[in-house]
Amino acid sequence: MIQQAQFVISNTNPGNCPKPDRAEIAFIGRSNVGKSSLINMLTGKSGLAKTSQKPGKTQLINHFMINEKWYLVDLPGYGFAKINVKVKQGWESMISTYLTKRENLCGVFVLIDSRLEPQKIDLEFLYWCGTEGVPAVLVFTKADKQSKNKTNQNIQKFLKKMVDIFEEAPQYFVTSAESAQGKEELTSFIEELVQE
Ligand code: GTP
Ligand code: MG
């Protein structure tokens, strides 16, 4: 159970992250997919991670300390069209350096909008994670926004794409920051991961 959650530090430079002396997990995914909202839902603190209806809200690497035992990290989204090329390249190199170099990182949760058909940018990002050995787990978000049927259809399509690329489907969770769907399952999974 997450009993305590507090903000630690925001960074643009992965080298300035807190000392890697405890387990860490991170949330990544397209801009506006619901990374920050999911962090607030899991921690039960609505204002902990800043959210916005406009994509591009989170621009830094944000560390939160959970139960004084492990770090949870909110990252900027990828695939945000409305920023200039320099800024975009800056984010991309910051995120890829963080994901490939952070030694205490034991899980990367890739958030996928459950309302959408499989998106090329997500598949490409997951492929990149595979080639770099980044330990990715899928989290389908915003399940409250459509029928269960529609959610399941989109998930099945996405998993099929994953099987085409990796020959097996990765572990996945279905969540809603609105209804707290998936909270227990995802929390237990994360807690096992950080205790290993
Ligand atoms: P960036 O920081 O810009 O990359 O976005 P983000 O992925 O952190 O998304 P954020 O959590 O800021 O949420 C974006 C918008 O989606 C906000 O308006 C949220 O209220 C909304 N949202 C996020 N998750 C859910 C959800 O599960 N259900 C519903 N209905 N809305 C959601
Ligand atoms: Mg955010």
Task: Please name the CATH architecture into which domain 5-195 falls.
Answer: 3-Layer(aba) Sandwich (3.40)
pLDDT at position 56: 85
- Structure tokens given for 65: 């300390």
- Structure tokens given for 90: 């800056």
Q: What is the pTM of this model?
A: 0.96
- Structure tokens given for 165: 């690329």
- Rounded CA-CA distance 46/41 in Å is 7
What are the start-end ranges of the H helices in 102-177? 120-132, 148-166
pLDDT at position 175: 98
Whether ligand 1 lies within 6 angstroms of the CB of 51 is answered as: yes
The count of other CB atoms within 10 Å of the CB of residue 20 is 13
State residue 18 phi and psi, 5-degree precision. Answer: -55, 160
- Structure tokens given for 11: 């960074």
Whether ligand 1 lies within 6 angstroms of the CB of 191 is answered as: no
DSSP track, 43-106: HT-TTSS---SSS----SEEEEEETTTEEEEE-PPB--TTS-HHHHHHHHHHHHHHHHH-TTEE
Give the closest ligand to the alpha carbon of residue 176. 1
pLDDT at position 166: 87
State the distance from the centre of ligand 2 to the C-alpha of 163, rounded, in angstroms: 29
> Above 0.90 for ipTM, yes or no?
yes
pLDDT at position 88: 80
pLDDT at position 116: 97
- Rounded CA-CA distance 105/95 in Å is 13
Whether ligand 1 lies within 6 angstroms of the CB of 35 is answered as: yes
Out of 32, 53, 74, mutate this one to test ligand 1's pocket (max ligand atoms within 8 Å of CB): namely: 32
Whether ligand 1 lies within 6 angstroms of the CB of 58 is answered as: yes
- Rounded CA-CA distance 166/142 in Å is 25
pLDDT lower than 70: segments of the chain: 81
